[in-house]
Protein backbone atom coordinates (compact mmCIF):
# COMPACT_ATOMS: atom_id res chain seq x y z
CA UNK A 1 0.00 0.00 0.00
CA UNK A 2 1.30 3.46 -0.88
CA UNK A 3 0.74 5.29 2.39
CA UNK A 4 0.95 8.83 1.07
CA UNK A 5 -1.38 8.48 -1.85
CA UNK A 6 -3.94 6.56 0.16
CA UNK A 7 -4.02 9.26 2.86
CA UNK A 8 -4.53 11.86 0.14
CA UNK A 9 -7.35 9.78 -1.29
CA UNK A 10 -9.17 9.78 2.03
CA UNK A 11 -9.11 13.57 2.13
CA UNK A 12 -10.20 13.84 -1.48
CA UNK A 13 -13.18 11.68 -0.52
CA UNK A 14 -14.04 13.75 2.56
CA UNK A 15 -13.48 17.16 0.95
CA UNK A 16 -17.03 18.27 0.24
CA UNK A 17 -18.35 17.07 3.57
CA UNK A 18 -15.41 18.67 5.38
CA UNK A 19 -16.06 21.96 3.61
CA UNK A 20 -19.75 21.80 4.52
CA UNK A 21 -18.89 21.20 8.21
CA UNK A 22 -16.21 23.90 8.42
CA UNK A 23 -17.93 26.60 6.38
CA UNK A 24 -16.26 29.99 6.05
CA UNK A 25 -14.57 30.32 9.42
CA UNK A 26 -14.55 26.88 11.00
CA UNK A 27 -16.95 24.69 12.94
CA UNK A 28 -18.03 25.53 16.48
CA UNK A 29 -15.00 23.84 18.06
CA UNK A 30 -12.66 25.97 15.96
CA UNK A 31 -14.57 29.23 16.34
CA UNK A 32 -15.16 28.98 20.08
CA UNK A 33 -12.05 27.22 21.36
CA UNK A 34 -9.24 26.72 18.88
CA UNK A 35 -9.04 29.88 16.80
CA UNK A 36 -9.13 32.22 19.83
CA UNK A 37 -6.27 30.17 21.32
CA UNK A 38 -4.31 30.25 18.04
CA UNK A 39 -4.78 34.01 17.75
CA UNK A 40 -3.58 34.47 21.34
CA UNK A 41 -0.38 32.56 20.56
CA UNK A 42 0.50 33.38 16.98
CA UNK A 43 0.59 37.19 16.92
CA UNK A 44 -1.30 37.20 13.64
CA UNK A 45 -1.40 40.75 12.24
CA UNK A 46 -0.54 42.83 9.20
CA UNK A 47 3.10 42.84 10.30
CA UNK A 48 3.30 39.08 10.01
CA UNK A 49 3.13 36.15 7.66
CA UNK A 50 1.52 32.79 8.30
CA UNK A 51 1.97 29.31 6.86
CA UNK A 52 -1.16 27.20 7.37
CA UNK A 53 0.06 23.60 7.13
CA UNK A 54 -2.68 21.16 6.12
CA UNK A 55 -5.16 24.02 5.67
CA UNK A 56 -8.21 21.92 4.80
CA UNK A 57 -10.89 24.23 3.43
CA UNK A 58 -8.79 27.21 4.58
CA UNK A 59 -10.93 28.41 7.46
CA UNK A 60 -8.02 29.56 9.64
CA UNK A 61 -6.19 31.03 6.65
CA UNK A 62 -9.19 33.28 6.04
CA UNK A 63 -9.28 34.35 9.68
CA UNK A 64 -5.57 35.25 9.50
CA UNK A 65 -5.78 36.95 6.10
CA UNK A 66 -8.69 39.10 7.29
CA UNK A 67 -6.46 40.25 10.16
CA UNK A 68 -3.89 41.33 7.59
CA UNK A 69 -1.37 38.45 7.74
CA UNK A 70 0.31 37.50 4.49
CA UNK A 71 -0.97 33.95 4.32
CA UNK A 72 0.18 30.83 2.53
CA UNK A 73 -1.87 27.66 2.83
CA UNK A 74 -0.59 24.22 1.91
CA UNK A 75 -2.54 20.98 1.59
CA UNK A 76 -2.14 17.77 -0.38
CA UNK A 77 -5.81 17.51 -1.33
CA UNK A 78 -6.66 19.20 -4.63
CA UNK A 79 -10.37 19.02 -3.86
CA UNK A 80 -9.95 20.78 -0.51
CA UNK A 81 -7.74 23.50 -1.99
CA UNK A 82 -10.26 24.19 -4.74
CA UNK A 83 -12.99 24.56 -2.14
CA UNK A 84 -10.70 26.77 -0.04
CA UNK A 85 -9.86 29.02 -3.00
CA UNK A 86 -13.54 29.27 -3.94
CA UNK A 87 -14.35 30.54 -0.45
CA UNK A 88 -11.45 33.03 -0.41
CA UNK A 89 -11.77 34.77 -3.75
CA UNK A 90 -11.76 38.25 -2.15
CA UNK A 91 -8.62 37.50 -0.10
CA UNK A 92 -4.97 37.36 -1.10
CA UNK A 93 -4.14 33.84 0.11
CA UNK A 94 -1.48 31.84 -1.67
CA UNK A 95 -2.46 28.16 -1.98
CA UNK A 96 0.05 25.38 -2.56
CA UNK A 97 -0.95 21.86 -3.61
CA UNK A 98 1.80 19.78 -2.09
CA UNK A 99 2.49 17.42 0.79
CA UNK A 100 3.72 19.26 3.86
CA UNK A 101 6.30 16.48 4.09
CA UNK A 102 7.92 18.35 1.18
CA UNK A 103 8.65 21.49 3.14
CA UNK A 104 10.93 23.43 2.84
CA UNK A 105 11.08 22.99 -0.99
CA UNK A 106 7.38 23.77 -1.32
CA UNK A 107 7.69 27.42 -0.22
CA UNK A 108 10.06 30.20 -1.16
CA UNK A 109 10.25 32.52 1.82
CA UNK A 110 10.39 32.71 5.61
CA UNK A 111 7.30 33.06 7.78
CA UNK A 112 6.82 34.63 11.17
CA UNK A 113 4.28 31.98 12.17
CA UNK A 114 3.08 28.53 11.21
CA UNK A 115 0.10 26.48 12.28
CA UNK A 116 -0.65 22.76 12.13
CA UNK A 117 -4.27 22.59 13.15
CA UNK A 118 -5.23 18.91 13.39
CA UNK A 119 -2.73 18.15 10.64
CA UNK A 120 0.18 16.35 12.29
CA UNK A 121 -2.05 13.58 13.59
CA UNK A 122 -2.83 12.77 9.95
CA UNK A 123 0.75 12.87 8.78
CA UNK A 124 2.77 9.71 8.34
CA UNK A 125 6.14 11.34 9.15
CA UNK A 126 5.62 14.32 11.49
CA UNK A 127 9.36 14.69 12.12
CA UNK A 128 9.90 15.57 8.50
CA UNK A 129 7.11 18.13 8.64
CA UNK A 130 8.29 19.83 11.84
CA UNK A 131 11.89 19.92 10.57
CA UNK A 132 10.64 21.45 7.33
CA UNK A 133 8.60 24.07 9.20
CA UNK A 134 11.70 24.91 11.25
CA UNK A 135 13.52 25.72 8.02
CA UNK A 136 10.85 28.07 6.71
CA UNK A 137 10.24 29.94 9.99
CA UNK A 138 12.21 33.07 10.79
CA UNK A 139 14.28 32.86 14.01
CA UNK A 140 11.94 33.42 16.94
CA UNK A 141 8.98 32.47 14.75
CA UNK A 142 5.92 30.88 16.30
CA UNK A 143 4.60 27.40 15.68
CA UNK A 144 1.22 26.28 17.00
CA UNK A 145 0.20 22.64 16.84
CA UNK A 146 -3.28 21.44 17.72
CA UNK A 147 -3.89 17.73 18.23
CA UNK A 148 -6.50 15.53 19.76
CA UNK A 149 -5.19 13.98 22.95
CA UNK A 150 -4.28 10.32 22.90
CA UNK A 151 -7.03 9.72 25.46
CA UNK A 152 -9.56 11.35 23.18
CA UNK A 153 -8.40 9.42 20.14
CA UNK A 154 -8.80 6.14 22.02
CA UNK A 155 -12.23 7.05 23.32
CA UNK A 156 -15.33 6.18 21.35
CA UNK A 157 -17.90 7.88 23.54
CA UNK A 158 -17.10 11.58 23.20
CA UNK A 159 -17.42 11.87 19.44
CA UNK A 160 -20.29 12.62 17.20
CA UNK A 161 -18.72 10.60 14.44
CA UNK A 162 -18.06 6.88 14.50
CA UNK A 163 -14.68 5.22 14.78
CA UNK A 164 -13.47 1.79 13.92
CA UNK A 165 -10.99 -0.04 16.08
CA UNK A 166 -7.30 0.71 15.69
CA UNK A 167 -5.90 -0.61 12.44
CA UNK A 168 -2.74 -2.55 13.26
CA UNK A 169 0.75 -2.54 11.75
CA UNK A 170 -0.19 -1.90 8.13
CA UNK A 171 -1.41 1.56 9.10
CA UNK A 172 1.31 2.53 11.57
CA UNK A 173 3.32 5.72 11.18
CA UNK A 174 7.09 6.12 10.75
CA UNK A 175 7.57 5.66 14.52
CA UNK A 176 5.17 2.70 14.77
CA UNK A 177 2.13 4.47 16.22
CA UNK A 178 -1.08 2.85 14.98
CA UNK A 179 -3.77 4.62 13.02
CA UNK A 180 -7.50 4.78 13.62
CA UNK A 181 -10.12 4.91 10.98
CA UNK A 182 -12.61 7.73 11.43
CA UNK A 183 -15.88 8.06 9.58
CA UNK A 184 -17.11 11.55 8.85
CA UNK A 185 -20.37 10.30 7.51
CA UNK A 186 -21.67 7.29 5.71
CA UNK A 187 -19.02 5.87 3.43
CA UNK A 188 -16.49 8.69 3.86
CA UNK A 189 -13.55 8.24 6.16
CA UNK A 190 -9.98 9.09 6.94
CA UNK A 191 -7.19 7.87 9.19
CA UNK A 192 -5.53 9.54 12.14
CA UNK A 193 -2.46 8.35 14.03
CA UNK A 194 -2.73 7.72 17.77
CA UNK A 195 0.39 9.28 19.33
CA UNK A 196 1.01 10.32 22.93
CA UNK A 197 1.32 14.07 23.55
CA UNK A 198 4.88 13.46 24.80
CA UNK A 199 5.86 12.36 21.31
CA UNK A 200 5.11 15.82 19.93
CA UNK A 201 6.85 17.58 22.83
CA UNK A 202 9.99 15.53 22.33
CA UNK A 203 9.85 16.10 18.59
CA UNK A 204 9.70 19.87 19.08
CA UNK A 205 12.68 19.82 21.44
CA UNK A 206 14.68 17.66 19.04
CA UNK A 207 13.98 19.93 16.10
CA UNK A 208 15.23 23.11 17.83
CA UNK A 209 11.93 24.52 19.03
CA UNK A 210 11.40 25.87 22.51
CA UNK A 211 8.00 24.79 23.81
CA UNK A 212 6.38 27.78 25.51
CA UNK A 213 2.86 26.53 26.18
CA UNK A 214 0.98 23.27 26.49
CA UNK A 215 -2.70 24.14 26.71
CA UNK A 216 -5.76 22.01 27.20
CA UNK A 217 -8.55 23.23 24.97
CA UNK A 218 -12.15 22.20 25.35
CA UNK A 219 -13.73 19.80 22.97
CA UNK A 220 -16.96 21.33 21.82
CA UNK A 221 -19.25 18.89 20.15
CA UNK A 222 -19.95 19.86 16.58
CA UNK A 223 -23.66 19.35 16.51
CA UNK A 224 -24.81 19.61 20.12
CA UNK A 225 -27.24 22.43 20.96
CA UNK A 226 -26.22 24.22 23.12
CA UNK A 227 -22.50 23.60 22.58
CA UNK A 228 -21.28 20.83 24.84
CA UNK A 229 -17.79 21.37 26.24
CA UNK A 230 -15.66 18.44 27.41
CA UNK A 231 -12.32 19.34 28.94
CA UNK A 232 -9.05 17.63 28.24
CA UNK A 233 -9.55 16.33 24.75
CA UNK A 234 -7.76 18.84 22.57
CA UNK A 235 -4.14 19.85 23.15
CA UNK A 236 -2.56 23.07 21.90
CA UNK A 237 1.23 23.24 21.76
CA UNK A 238 2.98 26.53 21.20
CA UNK A 239 6.69 26.63 20.41
CA UNK A 240 9.22 29.19 19.27
CA UNK A 241 11.97 28.60 16.73
CA UNK A 242 15.35 28.80 18.51
C1 LIG B 1 -8.31 17.22 10.08
S2 LIG B 1 -7.98 18.15 8.63
C3 LIG B 1 -7.63 19.76 9.30
C4 LIG B 1 -7.78 20.85 8.28
C5 LIG B 1 -7.60 22.28 8.83
N6 LIG B 1 -6.28 22.48 9.38
C7 LIG B 1 -8.66 22.56 9.86
O8 LIG B 1 -8.35 22.52 11.06
O9 LIG B 1 -9.82 22.76 9.47
C10 LIG B 1 -6.34 17.58 8.15
C11 LIG B 1 -5.84 18.26 6.91
O12 LIG B 1 -4.48 17.93 6.72
C13 LIG B 1 -4.26 17.66 5.35
N14 LIG B 1 -3.09 16.80 5.28
C15 LIG B 1 -2.91 15.60 5.87
N16 LIG B 1 -1.71 15.12 5.55
C17 LIG B 1 -1.11 16.05 4.76
C18 LIG B 1 0.15 16.12 4.11
N19 LIG B 1 1.03 15.15 4.21
N20 LIG B 1 0.43 17.23 3.38
C21 LIG B 1 -0.47 18.23 3.26
N22 LIG B 1 -1.68 18.20 3.83
C23 LIG B 1 -1.99 17.12 4.59
C24 LIG B 1 -5.55 17.01 4.91
O25 LIG B 1 -5.70 17.05 3.49
C26 LIG B 1 -6.57 17.84 5.65
O27 LIG B 1 -6.91 18.99 4.92
Tell me which of 90 and 178 has the higher pLDDT.
90
User: Which DSSP category does 43 fall into?
Assistant: -
Q: What is the pLDDT of residue 222?
A: 60
Tell me which of 226 and 177 has the higher pLDDT.
177
- Stated as kind and residue range, the H or E segment containing 2 is none
CA distance 200 to 183: 25
CA distance 103 to 140: 19
- The CB density around residue 85, as the number of other CB atoms within 10 Å, is 15
CA–CA distances in Å: residue 192 to residues 9, 11, 18, 75, 104 = 14, 11, 15, 16, 23
The residues, any chain, with a CB within 8 Å of residue 134's CB and separated by 6 or more, are: 207, 208, 209, 241
* C-alpha of residue 99 to centroid of ligand 1, in Å: 9
State the pLDDT confidence band at 185, using cuts at 50, 70 and 90: low
Most confident of 35-39, 156-160, 214-218: 35-39
Q: What is the pLDDT of residue 30?
A: 92
Query: With 70 as the cut, is the pLDDT of residue 168 above it?
Result: no
In 3D space, the residue among 174, 173, 152, 171 whose CA is nearest the CA of residue 163 turns out to be 152
CA distance 69 to 113: 10
For each of the domains in the chain, give its residue range(s) and CATH number, in order of start.
3-148+195-241 (3.40.50.150)
Q: What is the pLDDT of residue 221?
A: 66
Q: In the beta sheet, which residues pair with residue 146?
A: 117, 236
Ligand 1 in reach of 123 Cβ (< 6 A): yes
* Three-state DSSP class for residue 81: helix
Ligand 1 in reach of 22 Cβ (< 6 A): yes
Mean pLDDT across 179-203: 81
Query: With 50 as the cut, is the pLDDT of residue 216 above it?
Result: yes
State the pLDDT confidence band at 142, using cuts at 50, 70 and 90: very high
Q: What is the pLDDT of residue 69?
A: 96
Query: With 90 as the cut, is the pLDDT of residue 139 above it?
Result: yes
Ligand 1 in reach of 75 Cβ (< 6 A): yes
* C-alpha of residue 200 to centroid of ligand 1, in Å: 17
HEC readout, 148-165: ECHHHHHCCCCCCCCEEE
- Rounded mean pLDDT of the chain? 87
Ligand 1 in reach of 19 Cβ (< 6 A): no
Mean pLDDT across 110-130: 95
pTM confidence score: 0.93
In 3D space, the residue among 86, 50, 83, 82 whose CA is nearest the CA of residue 66 turns out to be 50
Q: Read off the pLDDT of residues 40-54 as tens digits, 9 standing for 90 and up.
A: 999 888 889 999 999
CA–CA distances in Å: residue 178 to residues 76, 117, 167, 191, 194 = 21, 20, 6, 10, 6
Atom of ligand 1 nearest to the CA of 190: 1
Tell me which of 42 and 163 has the higher pLDDT.
42
| Pairing of the two strands 188-193 and 209-220 | unpaired
8 A C-beta contact, residue 121 and residue 193: yes
* C-alpha of residue 89 to centroid of ligand 1, in Å: 21
Query: With 50 as the cut, is the pLDDT of residue 1 above it?
Result: no
Amino acid sequence: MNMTSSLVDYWEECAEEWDRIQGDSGDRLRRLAIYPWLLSKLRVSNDGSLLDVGCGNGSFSRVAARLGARTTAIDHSRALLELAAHRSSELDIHYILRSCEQLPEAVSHKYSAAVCNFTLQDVWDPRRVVEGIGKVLAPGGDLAIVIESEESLRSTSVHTYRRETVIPAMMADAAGHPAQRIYWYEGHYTYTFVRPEGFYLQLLEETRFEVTAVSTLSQIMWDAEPALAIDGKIIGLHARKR
